[in-house]
Amino acid sequence: MGKKIKIGIIICDRYKLCAGGKCFRSMKHREGAFTQYKKEDQLEIVGYTTCGGCPGGNIEYAPEEMIKNGAKIIHFATGMVVGYPPCPYIQHFKDFIEEQYKVEVVIGTHPIPEKYYTVHKKLGTWEKPHWKELIKPTLTDQKTRLSYD
C-alpha cells in the first residue's frame, strides 16, 4: 500500500457549477496531471472550490482551509488552461500560493479534452513557451483527449 496524499482542487469560477467528474475520474485512473502519483498511493480530495472569479479573490484564503484539512498539494483544474481565454492569472496564483503557504501547486487535473485542444491549437493559444510548460501535465495522446470530450 502506498502513501496517503491529500489534495485540494481549485477550479475557474466560470465553471463553478462543475461537479468535478472529469477531475475525479482522472484522479482515479491516474490520467492527466494525476500521472505523477503512483497507482498504489491513496489520493484524497480535502477541498474543492473556485478561485472566486477574476482576479481570484478566493486564492488568498481557500488554500489555508485546504491545508488545515491536510492538503499537501493543490491542483488547479484543467479548466483554468482550456477556458476561453485561459486564466491570465494562473502563474500569479501558483506563485502566491507556493510562497504564502509553502505547498506545491500543480497546473491541471484531467487530460485536455480534444475539442479544447483543437480550438486552442488553431488559435495558437499555447504557442508561447510558458503556456507549453503549463499544459504539459495535461497534454496527452488523442485517444485519451477524445475520451474526455
pLDDT single digits (tens) 10-64: 999 999 999 999 999 999 999 999 999 999 999 999 999 999 999 999 999 999 9
- Characterize the bridge pairing of strands 42-50 and 4-11: parallel
Q: For the domain that residue 115 is a member of, what is the CATH number?
A: 3.40.50
489555508: which residue's cell? 64
Domain ranges, residue 112: 4-147
What span, in angstroms and rounded, lies between the C-alpha atoms of 118 and 98? 31
pTM: 0.95
- The pLDDT score that the predictor gives to residue 2 is 86
In the chain, the number of structural domains is 1
Strand (E) positions, the chain? Answer: 4-11, 42-50, 73-76, 104-107
DSSP 70: T
Q: How many C-beta atoms lie closer than 10 Å to residue 64's C-beta?
A: 15
| pLDDT per position as a tens digit, 100-122 | 999 999 999 999 999 999 999 99
